[in-house]
Amino acid sequence: DKDALFLYMHIPFCEIRCGFCNLFTTIHPGQSLETAYLDTLNIQAKRVHEALDGASFARMAIGGGTPTYLNPDELTQLFAIAANIMQVDLKNTPASVETSPLTSTTARLQILRDHHVDRISIGIQSFIEEEVRAAGRAQKTRDVHLALERIRAVGFPTLNLDLIYGLPGQTVSSWIESLQMALMY
């Protein structure tokens, strides 16, 4: 049945390589690789669309890596591939996008909302900086809160916060602290 498929588009770019990640991704790929990747994704989408012959999509997700590593113009291009080639009805198809605290800029987030993304998932892992560093990330808790405030201001209906239990140095009390901070949002 091709009447309610799930479209997933993978963006394999990140600002850092996290110690817990086992996904296909590369850090700081450079503009030429980003451009080549989107060009190739465009070609692949055309082939898949032809092969699916009239399929429609019930859901869409853009993951990675960190899709919001792409700049606003590249994100717009990505949504054009979904809408114009894959024929996704962006206004009526629930869509989810992965982001990170450092790439959750207002401009990027607004592109997502302008294209009707209704669920954003942000990889926080922990609100405790020592735990985050132990996981191979250098984010500051202040940056996490600022990103969450921007996400809230842009108005996504659904917010997912990724937390990891069992990080090096994590205690029951620090885990509860992260959970309580997450629940504030």
Q: What is the pLDDT of residues 86-103, one digit of tens each?
A: 999 999 999 999 999 999
Q: What is the pTM of this model?
A: 0.92
Interacting residues of 71 by C-beta distance below 8 A, sequence separation 6+: 108
Is the pLDDT at 52 greater than 80, yes or no? yes
Of 91, 85, 96, the residue nearest 43 (C-alpha): 85
Q: Percent of the chain having pLDDT more than 90?
A: 80
Of 175, 155, 68, 53, the residue nearest 114 (C-alpha): 155
The residue-averaged pLDDT of 149-162 equals: 97
Q: Are 78 and 62 in contact (CB under 8 A)?
A: yes
Q: Are 41 and 76 in contact (CB under 8 A)?
A: no
Maximum Cα–Cα distance for the chain, whole Å? 53
d(CA 26, CA 44): 20
Q: Percent of the chain having pLDDT more than 70?
A: 93
The residue-averaged pLDDT of 138-160 equals: 96
How much is the pLDDT for 146?
97
